[in-house]
Structure 1
Amino acid sequence: DATFTGRHARLAGATYRPRPVQRPHPPLWIGASGEQRMLPLVGRVADAWHCFAAPDDMARKWAIVAAAAEAAGRDPASILRATNLSLSEPWDEVRRSAEAHRRAGVGYLVCSWPTEGQARMEEFVDQILPELVAA
């Protein structure tokens, strides 16, 4: 529970349920592509890495993350890799992109809401997502 009294706001016994994972800690996700500071940080401490890179660039960037993880005594395979997937592209391109990222080691895709709206999202969920999950 949290209690706070500030200049403009006050809380008394505020709670949040359900609580996030507490032990050992909530999963730490870091979205980064900076090769000098951020990717080594991902390797040292992150539970998941959200990469903003084309599949071809991910292998090079992953090598930096993996080297930092190993130097810190961590198993690089314990770090989940994630990226964005645009649902506004033609479906064949969405499939190609998802497959290319899968081959690059990405295990988690964050799908952007398509500019075409809910009907496009429903089409993705009904027709494309089952293919991606089965792959």
Structure 2
Amino acid sequence: MSQTAPTRFGIMTAPSQVDYQDVLRVWREADTIPEIEHAWLFDHLLPIFGDLDGPIYEGWTLLSALAAQTQRLRLGLLVTSNRFRPPAMLAKIAATVDIVSGGRLDFGIGVGSRPSHPLARREYEAHGLPFHDTAHAVGSLAEACTVIRRLWTSDQPFDFHGTHHRLTGAFGNPKPLQRPHPPILIGGRAAATLRVVAEHADLWNIPGGDIEDVIRRSALLDRYCTEIGRDPASITRSIHLPVSYDRPGATRNAIGEAIDAGFRHIVLGVPSPYPENVARWVADELITPSARA
């Protein structure tokens, strides 16, 4: 199979219905396996599967802890809900994690829970957070990306007066270790979000499942990039694929379809409970065979 760029594989461990030590064990193991290049958490405040009153960890806090206890993996949240934290606060959090990790952060961000999800509003109402309509949320995301990048790169305080965010004397210090800033990954599939991706993202992530829809969304992103004069190839295509322990062949097939569709950043979602040596299993059963195909 000819490839224009190397395919980089990673794992995602949803920090819900698990213990901290479970996630830490998997990340430490993955950190020793070169085939696994990146690792991810998600960003929810209440469970969205399993026991709805079960345990769930705050993503950025957990990510910082894991950053301090790994050495090689690139890491991030797939993806941060822009609805949860003001962008200047988020920029500060992310810069801290980039420093803690030694410059390994991939900054994942998105609009937040889609309104059609049956549990979308629950975690916002439970934490006193507003849940605005989609148009508001997309506009807020675009402004947030602008603010966050400026806080990471500006040498002087600045004011920002947007429709959704207003800052006076905004300044970020210390800066992230990565220059000019950590790579920005934006997740989503809606057309309005893809326009924000075209403007701001270094990587774009979409959940797998319907590969034909994924291909259509990627083509739409190409179009939006062309409209604003950006090379579509400058945005790395990333996809999240669920892992089946019982049917690894189905997962390998999904990986092959994604690679054929131009996706070079593969995030493999490993479900809990995590088997012993699960990271090694992922490398041996899923990544190595797919890389050789």
Same fold (TM over 0.5): yes
Q: Which residue of 2 aligns with 1:112?
A: 269
Tell whether the 8 Å contact from 2:207 to 2:241 is kept in structure 1 after alignment.
no
- The alpha-carbon distance between structure 1 residues 120 and 96, as it changes in their structure 2 partners (threshold 3 A), is farther
Q: Which residue of 1 aligns with 2:145?
A: none
CA distance, structure 1, for counterparts of residue 281 and residue 273 of structure 2: 11
Q: Which residue of 1 aligns with 2:238?
A: 82
Structure 1 residue 128 corresponds to structure 2 residue 283 = no
Give the superposition deviation at 1:119.
3.3
Structure 1 residue 95 corresponds to structure 2 residue 252 = yes
Q: How does the TM-score come out when normalised to structure 2?
A: 0.38
> Paired residue for 2:195, among 28, 40, 57?
40
Higher relative contact order, chain-length normalized (CA < 8 Å, sep 6+): 2
CA distance, structure 1, for counterparts of residue 186 and residue 223 of structure 2: 17
The residue identity in structure 1 corresponding to 2:274 is G
Q: How does 1:2-21 map to 2 (within 5 A)?
A: 16-17=99-100, 18-19=102-103, 20-21=177-178
CA distance, structure 2, for counterparts of residue 116 and residue 124 of structure 1: 14
Give the superposition deviation at 1:116.
4.9
RMSD after superposition = 2.1
Q: How does 1:39-58 map to 2 (within 5 A)?
A: 39-53=194-208, 54-58=210-214
Give the superposition deviation at 1:128.
2.6
Q: How does the TM-score come out when normalised to structure 1?
A: 0.77
SS for the counterpart of 1:67 is helix
Tell whether the 8 Å contact from 1:32 to 1:51 is kept in structure 2 after alignment.
yes
Give the superposition deviation at 1:114.
2.9
1:75-134 deviations in whole A, cap 9, x for unaligned? 101111111122225011011100111111111111112335233723222233211222
Tell whether the 8 Å contact from 1:48 to 1:80 is kept in structure 2 after alignment.
yes
Q: Which runs of 5+ in 1 are unaligned?
A: 1-13
SS for the counterpart of 1:29 is strand
The residue identity in structure 2 corresponding to 1:75 is D
Structure 1 residue 63 corresponds to structure 2 residue 211 = no
Tell whether the 8 Å contact from 1:88 to 1:116 is kept in structure 2 after alignment.
no
Tell whether the 8 Å contact from 1:30 to 1:50 is kept in structure 2 after alignment.
yes
- The alpha-carbon distance between structure 1 residues 133 and 70, as it changes in their structure 2 partners (threshold 3 A), is same
Range that drifts further, 52-61 or 75-84: 52-61
Give the superposition deviation at 1:52.
2.0
Tell whether the 8 Å contact from 2:203 to 2:236 is kept in structure 1 after alignment.
yes
CA distance, structure 2, for counterparts of residue 119 and residue 133 of structure 1: 23
Tell whether the 8 Å contact from 1:29 to 1:48 is kept in structure 2 after alignment.
yes
Give the superposition deviation at 1:42.
0.9
Q: Which residue of 2 aligns with 1:30?
A: 186
SS for the counterpart of 1:51 is strand
The residue identity in structure 2 corresponding to 1:64 is L
